[in-house]
C-alpha cells in the first residue's frame, strides 16, 4: 500500500541489552525481583515458573534494567528453536522483572506503536531474518546491531493501531484462557492438598492415625504407581526417523503445556518403531529428570514417545492418574536436591523409581480421580482452543502486516 514505507527497525526502536548479573547471587525466593533470562523466554510468553530472582535490596542503581508493561524481550543467544522465535512481552500484572545479559529489550520510538512493534517481531519475516543471520555461527546468537538492521514496511500510525487491535484481540482471548486454566489447575491442586497433605479427606474424622499416617495408607515408592519408561532419541542422522506421525515430547513442550497437545518435533512411524519399547499411552505422567526443568510434570494426551530427559509413569490403574500426577509434582524439591547442584542435574530411572511417597487406599484415589476428571477435561479443551486461536492469529499476522488484508 502507498502509505507503507520501508524502514530500518533501529530508526524506530531502542534495542537495549540486559545486565551481567552474577549467577552466584541468584536466589529462588519469589518475593524478590524476577530475572528475565534467555532460558525463560518462550514463544510469546515468559516462563515465570522457572525464573531465578534478584534481591530487592540490590535493585538500587539497576533501575534502567527494570522491565515495564509493553516491553518486548528477545533472547539473543539461541533466539530461534524448533518451536519458534524466543520472544515475549511484558503484560499488565506481570511480576517486577530485571533484564539479564544477552536478552534484548525493545521499546518503540516516535512513529512506531509499541503494541505494533511486538507483531513486527512476531512475523515470519522477522523470524526468517533471525534464522538466516545465525547461519554459519558456532553458537547461534544475534547482536543488537543485527536486530536494528532489520528492514520492514511501516504503515501509518492509524493503521498500526488497527492492526494491533485486531491481533491483540486474539492474544487477549489466549491470555484469558491461560488465566482460566491457572484457576482450574489451582482448584484441583488445592483439593489434592486438602485430602492428601492436610489429611482432610472424606471420612477422615473416623480414621485412626498410626505413626503419623492414616490407617490403611502405606509408605511406598514412585515405582508402585505404575510402569516407568525413560525416553530415548532416535538417530538424528537418519532424517526419515522424523515426520508427523508420532508426538515426540521434550522438556520445552512440558513447560508450555500441562497437558501435551502439541510438540515441537514429531517422529515418523519408522523412527518410533525403531524403539517400539519407548511408546507411552494417552494419560501417562511425564517427569523431567534433568537440567533446569528438573521436576516439571505434564500429562500426555495421545500415544507418543519422549526423549531421554523424561521419565514417564504409566499408572497401573486409570483411577489413580490424578493422585499420581499431583504426588509426583510434590516430589520436585526432592528431585532437585538429588540433582546435587550439578551444572546439569540428573536423576536416573532407578533413583526416580525409588523415591518415597504415601499410597492412600485405592478407593480414595479413585474418588479424587472422579472429582477432578472434569477439571482436566476442561483444561485440555482450553489448550486446544488456544492452539486454534494462535493458528488463526498467525495466519492473519503476515497478511495484515504486508497490506494484503486491508483494515
272 and 306 part of one domain: yes
- For residues 141 and 173, state if they share a domain: no
The confidence score (pLDDT) of residue 344 equals 62
- The residue from 154, 171, 194 where one domain ends is 154
Residue found under cell 500500500: 1
3-state class (DSSP) for residue 5: strand
* Inside any domain, residue 211: no
Does residue 212 belong to any structural domain of this protein?
Answer: no
Range of the domain at 273: 218-359
Provide the domain count of the chain.
3
Same domain membership, residue 327 and residue 260: yes
Same-domain pairing of 267 and 369: no
Assess if residue 285 is contained within a domain: yes
- In this structure, are 31 and 149 located in the same domain? yes
Tell me, yes or no, whether 240 and 321 share the same domain: yes
User: What are the tens digits of pLDDT across the range 232-286?
Assistant: 999 999 999 999 899 999 988 888 789 999 998 999 999 999 999 999 999 999 9
Measured in degrees and rounded to the nearest 5, phi and psi for residue 357 equal -160, 165
Which residues touch 52 (CB under 8 Å, ≥6 apart)?
A: 26, 27, 28, 34, 35, 37
- Position 1 scores a pLDDT of 46
Residues 224 and 352 in one domain: yes
The per-residue pLDDT for 340 is: 60
Q: How many helices (H) and strands (E) does the chain have?
A: 11, 23
- From 303, 302, 317, select the one nearest 368 (Cα to Cα): 317
**Is 31 inside any structural domain?**
yes
Helix (H, G, I), strand (E, B) or coil at 92: coil
Q: Are 235 and 284 in a shared domain?
A: yes
Are 354 and 388 in the same domain?
Answer: no
Q: Which of 310, 271, 270 lies closest to 290 in space, CA to CA? A: 310
407, 162 Cβ separation under 8 angstroms? yes
Cβ(87)–Cβ(75) under 8 Å? yes
Residue 66 covered by a domain: yes
**Are residues 266 and 285 located together in one domain of the fold?**
yes
CATH at 51: 3.90.220.20
Per-residue pLDDT 10s for the chain (407 aa) are 457 889 999 999 999 999 999 989 999 888 999 999 998 898 888 988 888 999 999 999 999 999 999 999 999 998 987 778 999 999 999 999 999 999 999 999 999 999 999 999 999 999 999 988 876 666 788 999 999 999 999 999 999 999 999 999 999 999 999 999 999 999 999 999 999 999 999 999 999 999 889 999 999 999 999 999 999 999 999 999 999 899 999 988 888 789 999 998 999 999 999 999 999 999 999 999 987 678 899 999 999 999 999 999 999 999 999 999 999 999 988 888 876 655 567 888 999 999 999 999 999 999 999 999 999 999 999 999 999 999 999 999 999 998 888 87
Is 210 domain-assigned?
Answer: no
**143 and 164 both lie in a single domain:** no
What is the C-alpha separation between 311 and 361, in angstroms, rounded? 25
Do residues 19 and 131 both lie within one domain? yes
In a domain, 352, yes or no: yes
CA angle, corner 285, sides to 282 and 291, nearest 5? 130
User: Does some domain include residue 213?
Assistant: no
d(CA 198, CA 363): 18
Amino acid at each position: 500500500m502507498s502509505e507503507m514505507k520501508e524502514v530500518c527497525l533501529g530508526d524506530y526502536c531502542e534495542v537495549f541489552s540486559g545486565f551481567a548479573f552474577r549467577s552466584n547471587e541468584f536466589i529462588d525466593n519469589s518475593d524478590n525481583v524476577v530475572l528475565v533470562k534467555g532460558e525463560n523466554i518462550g514463544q510469546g510468553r515468559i516462563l515465570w515458573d522457572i525464573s531465578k530472582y534478584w534481591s530487592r535490596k540490590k535493585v538500587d542503581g539497576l533501575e534502567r534494567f527494570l522491565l515495564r508493561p509493553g516491553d518486548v524481550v528477545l533472547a539473543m543467544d539461541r533466539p530461534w528453536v524448533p518451536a519458534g522465535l524466543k520472544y515475549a512481552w511484558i503484560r499488565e500484572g506481570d511480576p517486577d522483572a530485571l533484564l539479564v545479559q544477552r536478552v534484548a529489550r525493545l521499546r518503540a520510538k516516535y512513529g512506531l506503536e509499541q503494541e505494533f512493534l511486538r507483531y513486527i517481531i512476531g512475523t515470519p519475516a522477522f523470524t526468517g531474518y533471525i534464522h538466516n543471520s545465525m547461519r554459519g555461527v558456532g553458537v547461534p546468537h544475534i547482536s543488537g546491531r543485527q536486530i536494528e538492521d532489520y528492514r520492514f514496511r511501516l504503515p501509518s500510525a492509524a493503521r498500526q493501531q488497527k492492526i494491533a487491535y485486531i491481533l491483540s484481540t486474539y492474544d487477549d482471548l489466549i491470555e484469558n484462557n491461560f488465566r482460566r486454566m491457572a484457576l482450574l489447575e489451582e482448584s484441583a491442586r488445592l483439593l489434592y492438598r486438602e485430602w492428601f497433605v492436610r489429611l482432610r479427606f472424606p471420612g477422615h474424622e473416623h480414621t485412626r492415625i498410626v505413626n503419623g499416617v492414616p490407617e490403611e495408607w502405606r509408605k511406598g515408592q514412585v515405582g508402585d504407581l505404575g510402569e516407568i519408561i525413560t525416553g530415548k532419541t532416535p538417530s538424528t542422522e537418519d532424517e526419515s526417523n522424523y515426520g508427523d506421525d508420532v508426538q515426540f515430547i521434550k522438556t520445552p513442550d512440558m513447560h508450555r503445556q500441562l497437558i501435551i497437545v502439541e510438540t515441537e518435533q514429531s517422529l515418523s512411524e519408522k523412527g518410533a518403531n525403531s524403539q517400539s519399547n519407548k511408546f507411552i499411552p494417552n494419560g501417562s505422567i511425564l517427569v523431567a529428570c534433568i537440567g533446569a526443568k528438573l521436576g516439571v510434570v505434564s500429562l500426555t494426551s495421545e500415544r507418543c514417545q519422549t526423549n531421554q530427559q523424561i521419565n514417564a509413569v504409566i499408572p497401573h490403574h486409570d483411577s489413580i492418574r490424578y493422585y499420581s500426577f499431583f504426588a509426583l509434582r510434590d516430589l520436585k524439591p526432592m528431585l532437585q536436591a538429588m540433582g546435587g547442584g550439578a551444572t546439569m542435574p540428573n536423576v536416573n530411572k532407578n533413583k526416580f523409581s525409588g523415591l518415597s511417597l504415601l499410597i492412600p487406599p485405592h478407593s480414595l484415589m479413585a474418588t479424587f480421580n472422579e472429582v477432578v476428571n472434569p477439571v482436566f477435561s476442561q483444561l485440555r479443551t482450553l489448550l486446544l482452543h488456544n492452539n486454534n486461536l494462535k493458528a488463526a492469529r498467525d495466519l492473519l499476522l503476515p497478511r495484515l502486516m504486508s497490506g494484503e488484508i486491508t483494515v
